[in-house]
Chain A
């Protein structure tokens, strides 16, 4: 009999280095005094996470970059009102998610005739990001092609989740944030976050199983 499958550790660790909230606090304090260098450092530490979050929520790279710039612009302008004891990343992600929500609503109001790309797979939603919208950082050899297809399937499956489920999936399963911080960002209870996460995973698993069959 095979050995029983081991559960993962209780909390999934992010594979990328976490920005230290303590270091952020010092930079925020200096930025509030008008130190542009300190704010530049904050941008350097969080730009990847913000752009990634924006991209996962909007599904379009160019829009995600523009939205991320707008988010940092609002952070700079909003620094005088920011409480230094709060985590900068929480605040930054909140701003980004709010902007993404407004952008999606704007698109929904101004949506014109539905267009379907001949290249899109059957059943794809109208706002599915095109496969080429994200430049492939590592166009590897042929044996990477299959992996790339799976990643594209995963990316598309995430993009097709309803926004509340997509948000927790991006923050938890992609960006690896702890539940407490996700709850703060979303302004929801931890129980709600967990419930949404489990539902999202079940949906993703089902969809990916259909795709990979």
Chain B
């Protein structure tokens, strides 16, 4: 027999559903017969279920099925997209072709490769560049870019020279192959007079030992390219005075310096007078 009303009320719904085993079902039956409170609860539960059953159902709209068929028969997204893109064709196709062309031009214009600076300036000179303080490697690169446009060939050669040269501060051995030694010597003298290296030794008619700031190195190269073809290499042995001279030049010019051993070599055998 169920004495506990709480336990009974917990079982009211299963009892209603016929889910209790026979023994418990009998116990519930007996308790409900004896307990008016639980009996009232049971009646309330039944009443509630009747109330749920009698809830009015929402009405079905008169055109419900027609609306479903309209939805089913409506064109799918591929057809809608096709209609949006292509109809009317005499308007859409020309307009879309124009739009695609415009976008293509815009993309090409925005992402076009930039012209090198010398194409735009064309007037920047070597000297103008020399006035701009920059790291040696940047100066080297910038100086190459500032060559006047008329000297495109020289520009390419100087690029090659710069690539071939050892890093700043490393002594350089330059051999210049010339047709006429005497003429070449004159041109070298003229270039050195213009450059005014801090130190110049002229141990032989065709040999020069120079100490000059890094920024003048390429100017020297430019001059030498006009004299003959160049062969550049790092100097394998340094001259005894070079370290001292290098230090002095660095202190003087407040920048890296180059030690250059310049040799003129003749393609013919004519000596320098």
Binding site for B on A (CB under 8 A): 1-2, 4-5, 7-12, 14-15, 36, 40, 43-44, 47-48, 51-52, 55, 61, 64-65, 68-70, 72-73, 76-77, 134-138, 150-151, 154-155, 158, 169, 173-174, 176, 194, 197-198, 201-202, 204-205, 208-209
Contacts and interface: CB of A to CB of B under 8 A. Distances in A.
Interface string B147-179: 000000000000000000000000000000000
B118 interface: no
Contacts of B52: 154, 158, 169, 173-174, 204
B58 A134 contact: yes
Given A47-B64, A69-B68, A73-B68, A155 B53 contact: no
A149 to B, nearest CB: 11
B48 A7 contact: no
Given A51-B60, A76-B72, A7 B15 contact: yes
Q: Give the interface size bracket for B toward A.
A: 35 or more
B57 A48 contact: yes
B172 to A, nearest CB: 72
Interface of B: 10, 13-19, 25, 29-30, 32-33, 39, 41-46, 48-49, 51-61, 64-65, 67-69, 71-72
A4 B33 contact: yes
Chain B at the A interface: mostly helix, strand, loop or mixed?
A: helix
Nearest to B44: A205
A36 B71 CA distance: 14
14 contacts: A4-B30, A5-B39, A11-B18, A15-B53, A44-B65, A47-B64, A48-B57, A52-B57, A61-B58, A136-B56, A150-B51, A151-B51, A201-B48, A202-B13
A73 B72 contact: yes
A8 B65 contact: no
B58 A47 contact: no
A64 B58 contact: yes
A135 B57 CA distance: 10
B57 A47 contact: no
Given A4-B33, A7-B16, A209-B44, A65 B65 contact: no
Contacts of A202: 10, 13
A8 B55 contact: no
B222 to A, nearest CB: 71
A20 to B, nearest CB: 20
A55 B58 contact: yes
A90 to B, nearest CB: 20
A174 B64 contact: no
A176 B16 contact: no
Contacts of A48: 57, 60
A201 B71 contact: no
